[in-house]
Structure 1
């Protein structure tokens, strides 16, 4: 059974951000910084960086140690890569047994990615900004 966005945002503790940028002018950086400031543990995933927002950055979600339970995978990649990113999430699920919510930011979802996630039993939220939903669903004023 799928949980509401509010339930996800209230219960999540760890968010892996695929495509997280160290560039403060990029949307992925801004939203990851916001989420970190709101108390979530952010795990940046981007092979271009060693560290983002003071956090170790991983090349792939499959490189994140298995003992770290990821609650949400927030994807900031071009839509043509989203299905491939979901494949890496599924690969990690098969290794760890942890099933995160797959959350795609505005403009990055694809029908193939959604089908893959749902076939793997992963909740898939598409075309939603986590920061905007956090502010709306939890009544946060920023």
Structure 2
């Protein structure tokens, strides 16, 4: 089963239905893309949960060593890791009951997509969540 990108309408629904984003590979360095994207998503109204075993907190939120350490529901697992490192992240995303996995721009892996889809997750690959959110929800995240 080959990966097929969700339509813009499907991506909009993923964003509208999501409140909590666990960011795997979120850097604590403000000049890094992962930091800038997560900061922008936080400013738009999403709850950001950093997943970085080398940081205590990022963007004012407690950082966790792995997805399985997060004690609350996660809607989107947003991934800033090289493509070859994403299959185990998909397995963890399935195990914690996340709704979606989102691999950032330049990151794609068919095995990751298959694992996530088999586990019932929606899959977005090779797209920037910040760009998609800016296009599809320009007024920001509604508080529902």
Structure 2 segments unaligned to the other structure (5+ residues): 1-5
Query: Which of 57, 81, 84 in structure 2 is aligned with 1:51?
Result: 57
Contact 1:74 1:103 in 2 (8 A): yes
Which residue is 1:64 aligned to?
70
Of structures 1 and 2, the one scoring higher in RCO (CA 8 A, sep 6+) is 2
How many residue pairs get matched? 133
Aligned equivalent of 2:110: 111
Match of 1:87 among 91, 100, 109: 91
RMSD (Å), alpha carbons: 1.6
Displacement of 1:100 in angstroms is 1.7
What is the alpha-carbon distance in structure 2 between the residues aligned to residue 34 and residue 69 of structure 1? Answer: 21
Q: Is the 8 A contact 1:83 1:113 kept in 2?
A: yes
Measured after TM superposition, the shift of residue 140 of structure 1 is: 4.9
**Runs of 4+ more than 4 Å apart:** none
* Higher helix proportion (structure 1 or 2): 1
Return the alpha-carbon distance in structure 2 between the equivalents of residues 120 and 11 of structure 1.
Answer: 18
Structure 1 stretches of 5 or more lacking a match?
Answer: 94-98
Q: Cα offset for 1:113?
A: 0.3
Taking structure 2 as the reference length, the TM-score comes to 0.87
